A and B are shown apart, each in its own frame.
Chain A
Amino acid sequence: GENVEQHPSTLSVQEGDSAVIKCTYSDSASNYFPWYKQELGKRPQLIIDIRSNVGEKKDQRIAVTLNKTAKHFSLHITETQPEDSAVYFCAIGNQAGTALIFGKGTTLSVSS
C-alpha cells in the first residue's frame, strides 16, 4: 500500500535559521502533497499543499518542493521564529482518493 516516510523526526534550529523537512513516498500515482502543522495541544491545520503538476509553491516564509521522479517532497521554512515550533506532518493522497496518508511527524523546535 501507499507509504510515506518523513525525516527528521526532530529538528532544532536557532531563530532566523532555515528548516527543511523531507518526505519520500512509494506510490508514483500520488498527486496531492499537503503539509499540516500541529501546535501543542491543538488540531492539525493545513499550511501549504502542492499538486503534481507543480514543482514548487511558496507562501511567505514557507515553501514546498516536489520531485516526482525521485518521489520526494520537502517543506522549507525560512527565517524561523519561535511560533514555528510545532509538529509538522506531510501527507499524500492515496490512490483510491479516499484518504490522506500521513507521515509520522517532525517536531520542530525554534529557540530564540
Chain B
Amino acid sequence: EAQVTQNPRYLITVTGKKLTVTCSQNMNHEYMSWYRQDPGLGLRQIYYSMNVEVTDKGDVPEGYKVSRKEKRNFPLILESPSPNQTSLYFCASSLGQTGTGELFFGEGSRLTVL
C-alpha cells in the first residue's frame, strides 16, 4: 500500500531532550516536506527536500533540523525542544521535484513539550 509513515504518532517530552520524528515513504517520491499544524494557523512548512542530500528551509525552520540521506526517509530532528514546538507535525511527499503537486501526508505526529 502506498503510504507515508511517521513515528512516533504521539510523544510527550521535556524541554531540551533531543528527539527525532521519522518519516518514510514507499512511493519513490522525489519531494518530501515537513509541516506543522497549529490551531488557527493552518499548515506551515518547516523544511523540504527536493532530492537526496538536498534540503532547504521553509517558513518556520527555527529549532528544527532535517536530513535526506536516502530517498525514502526524511527525519525531523528537534535538538533542544521547547514548549513552543508543541504541535501536530505532518510529513508529506510528492512525486515531482517541486512542492507544487499533490502532497501525500502521513498520519501526523502529535508532540507535547513540557
Min Cβ gap B4→A in Å is 8
- For residue B105, which residues in chain A have a CB less than 8 angstroms away from its CB? 43-45
Assuming A98-B56, A103-B42, A104-B40, is B99 touching A43 (CB within 8 A)? no
Quick one: CB contact mask for B25-66 with A, threshold 8 Å, 1 for yes? Answer: 000000001010000111111001010000010110000000
Number of residues from B at the complex interface, CB < 8 A: 24
The A interface, classified by DSSP as helix, strand, loop or mixed, is strand
C-alpha gap A101/B98 in the complex (Å): 13
C-alpha gap A100/B100 in the complex (Å): 6
Q: Which of A36, A46, A49, A102 gathers the greatest number of chain B CB atoms within 10 Å?
A: A102
- For residue A42, which residues in chain B have a CB less than 8 angstroms away from its CB? 107
- Residues B58 and A99 in contact, CB atoms below 8 Å apart: yes
C-alpha gap A100/B44 in the complex (Å): 9
7 sampled A-B residue pairs with Cβ under 8 A: A42-B107, A43-B105, A43-B106, A44-B105, A94-B99, A99-B58, A103-B42
Residues of B within 8 A of A (CB): 33, 35, 40-45, 48, 50, 56, 58-59, 90, 98-103, 105-108
